[in-house]
Amino acid sequence: MSREPQRIAKLLARAGIASRREIERMIEARRIAIDGKALETPATIVTSLHGVTVDGKPVAAPAPARLFRFHKPAGLLTTERDPKGRPTIYDKLPPDLPRVIPVGRLDLNTEGLLLLTTDGELKRQLELPRTGVERSYRARAFGEVSQAQLEDLIEGVEIDGVRYGQIDANLERRTGANTWIELRLAEGKNREVRRVLEYLGLQVSRLIRTAYGPFPLDDLPVGAVDEIRQHDLVAFRKTLKS
């Protein structure tokens, strides 16, 4: 059966080998070959992964994408390994889980929902700002802030030359000197929530991601993993902006 010609980097990402960017680096390092000949460019067009090897090992055809929810505890890095030997999410994931890559990142001390996927192309779709996938958070912060100040974030804000897009933020409740704030955003720049709240004069003491797109954290226990149903994943992918 003939297949649509595609860039090899895209097909390898779909096969869960790595992200497109990582695959480009692997090609530069001559780690990927077709019929024994090392590739020179990630723009190589192929119709299948037949004959493709990574580090000399054949690559299996892409299986249907799978997506998992993981309730990340604070104190774990969202990376495969850490030169300093600090614990990572992979130290806590169940051993029977297939090879997965995280969708976006959560800082060391940020907890809550982390999506994991077997498919590099799905990861890319979920992370790209243009697809507009919303992330939801709850933050506990020390300091005073008004609802009016939070509502101004809907216009976006520039901090130290970095422009942050619109954030829908609302006061949830106050407990003593602490304030709980709910935030929704679709961009997800590095440490965005912490930086924006610090810009408002708040000290963030706890940050929890409560949802990513239509997938909520709900009551998933800390450290637990479950799989999103294939039917729900397929339906969601149809709603993504191209």
Fold designation for 6-58 = 3.10.290
Please, are residues 57 and 15 in contact by the beta-carbon 8 Å criterion?
no
The domain segmentation of the chain, as residue ranges, is 6-58, 67-130+224-239, 134-212
pLDDT at 81: 82
The CATH number of the structural domain formed by 67-130+224-239 is 3.30.70.580
As a whole number of angstroms, the distance between CA 227 and CA 143 comes to 38
As a whole number of angstroms, the distance between CA 207 and CA 139 comes to 5
Q: Three-state SS across 179-239?
A: EEEEEEECCCCCCHHHHHHHHCCCEEEEEEEEEECCEECCCCCCCCEEECCHHHHHHHHHH
**Same fold across 6-58 and 134-212:** no
Q: Which of 91, 107, 168, 232 is catalytic?
A: 107
pTM: 0.77
Q: Which residues contact 80 (CB under 8 A, 6 or more apart)?
A: 88, 90
- SS3 state at 94: coil
pLDDT at 242: 56
pLDDT at 42: 85
Please, are residues 204 and 198 in contact by the beta-carbon 8 Å criterion?
yes
Query: Quick check: is 226 catalytic?
Result: no
Terminal Cα-to-Cα distance of the chain (whole angstroms): 26
Fold designation for 134-212 = Alpha-Beta Plaits (3.30.70)
pLDDT at 2: 40
pLDDT at 241: 65
As a whole number of angstroms, the distance between CA 102 and CA 58 comes to 24
Please, are residues 45 and 11 in contact by the beta-carbon 8 Å criterion?
no
Strand partners, 65: none
Q: What is the pLDDT along the chain (242 residues), one digit of tens a residue?
A: 346 788 888 888 877 788 888 899 999 999 999 999 999 888 889 888 889 999 999 987 777 889 999 999 999 999 888 888 899 999 999 999 998 999 988 999 999 999 999 988 899 889 887 788 999 999 999 998 999 999 999 998 889 898 988 899 999 988 888 999 999 998 777 788 999 999 999 999 999 999 999 999 999 999 999 999 999 999 998 888 65
